[in-house]
């Protein structure tokens, strides 16, 4: 799964789910796939390749070919709140691909790609298993993705406004208003201080390699 994505208007070519069958490893296939990805990234004018490997073997593969750690991805599950003062009502808008490409992807970063999470949330192949709800939110575009009848939802959030502790409170209040007991957040290290007091774990590492045009 290889595709163009954006991070604060920076064009990136994201490498996701790039895998080689166990019986075919150590034959240079992964390197050929990586080379093909970089060729296309050059064609579209991307500034770097980005990925989030899911195990140490994959990390070692990318490091071998010049990828460096650029950030960490954290996870937290936070109880929702009835703090009605934090709820800010905005105009309801569906999240479009243009929004995903032009707004910073702040929460929902299990794939570190706004484009990928846009596809997962809004063009869900698991139609019978998950639901995505777009929520009224004045400072950005907020979606809750959850299993049917679940009381836990993943917060997916795009915004070009400053994200503060009040933003977290507002998302948790919206979550309670929608009937959820907990909200799940994936986020980068720059937002770690906003989750003080919550149980947060470091999930994985983001890797990048600059493309010299």
Is residue 110 domain-shared with residue 27, that is, in the same domain?
Answer: no
144-193: per-residue pLDDT in tens? 999 888 999 999 999 999 999 999 999 999 999 889 999 999 999 999 99
The pLDDT tens digits of the residues spanning 28-44 come to 677 887 888 888 888 88
Report DSSP state, residue 207.
E
pTM: 0.81
Asked if residue 183 and residue 99 are part of one domain, the reply reads yes
Q: Please tell me the predicted confidence (pLDDT) of residue 150.
A: 94
Supply φ then ψ for residue 168, to 5 degrees: -60, -45
35-79 pLDDT, tens per residue?
888 888 888 888 888 888 877 888 888 898 899 998 888 999 999
114, 181: one domain: yes
Q: Tell me which residue range forms the domain holding 157.
A: 72-202
Mark whether 67 and 78 lie in a shared domain: no
Cβ-based neighbours of 137, under 8 Å, separated by 6 or more? 88, 90, 157, 170, 171, 174
Instruction: Supply the CATH number for residue 6's domain.
Output: 3.40.630.30
Same domain, yes or no: 195 and 105: yes
Place 129 in a pLDDT band, splitting at 50, 70 and 90.
Answer: confident
Given a contact cutoff of 8 angstroms between Cβ atoms, the answer to whether 51 and 18 are in contact is yes
Q: Who wins on pLDDT, 90 or 113?
A: 113
User: Does the pLDDT of residue 209 top 70, yes or no?
Assistant: yes
- pLDDT for position 91: 57
Judged by DSSP in three states, 53 sits in: coil
Same domain, 80 and 63: no
Q: Provide the 8-state DSSP code for 8.
A: T
At residue 193, the pLDDT reads 95
The residue among 115 and 122 whose pLDDT is bigger is 122
Query: What mean pLDDT is predicted for residues 96-125?
Result: 77
Residues 64 and 91 in one domain: no
Q: What percent of the chain has pLDDT over 70?
A: 81
CATH of the domain at 131: 3.40.630
DSSP code string of 123-183: S-S-TTTEEEEEE--TTSEEEEEEETT-SEEEEEEEESSPP-HHHHHHHHHHHHHTT-SEE
| 102, 152: one domain | yes
173 versus 82: the higher-pLDDT residue is 173
d(CA 43, CA 37) in angstroms, rounded, equals: 10
Looking at the structure, tell me whether residues 95 and 51 fall in a common domain: no
Total structural domains within the chain: 2
* Whole-number pLDDT of residue 205: 86
pLDDT averaged over every residue in the chain = 82
Q: Could you tell me the two tokens for 44? A: 């579209």
* Mean pLDDT within 96-117: 79
């Amino acid at each position: 799964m290889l595709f163009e994505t954006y991070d604060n208007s920076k064009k990136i070519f994201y490498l996701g789910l790039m895998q080689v069958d166990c019986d075919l490893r150590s034959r240079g296939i992964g390197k050929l796939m990586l080379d093909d990805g970089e060729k296309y990234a050059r064609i579209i004018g991307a500034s770097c390749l980005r990925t989030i490997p899911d195990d140490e073997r994959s990390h070692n593969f990318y490091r071998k070919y010049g990828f460096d750690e650029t950030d960490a991805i954290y996870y937290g599950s936070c109880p929702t709140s009835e703090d009605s003062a934090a709820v800010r009502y905005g105009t309801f808008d569906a999240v479009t691909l243009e929004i995903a490409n032009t707004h910073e992807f702040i929460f929902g970063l299990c794939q570190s790609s706004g484009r990928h999470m846009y596809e997962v949330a809004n063009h869900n192949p698991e139609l019978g298993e998950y639901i995505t709800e777009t929520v009224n939110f004045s400072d950005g575009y907020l979606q809750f993705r959850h299993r049917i009848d679940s009381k836990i939802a993943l917060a997916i959030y795009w915004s070009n406004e400053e994200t503060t502790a009040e933003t977290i409170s507002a998302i948790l209040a919206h979550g309670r208003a929608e009937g959820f007991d907990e909200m799940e957040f994936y986020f980068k290290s720059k937002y770690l201080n906003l989750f003080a007091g919550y149980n947060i774990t470091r999930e994985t590492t983001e890797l990048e390699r600059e493309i010299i045009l």
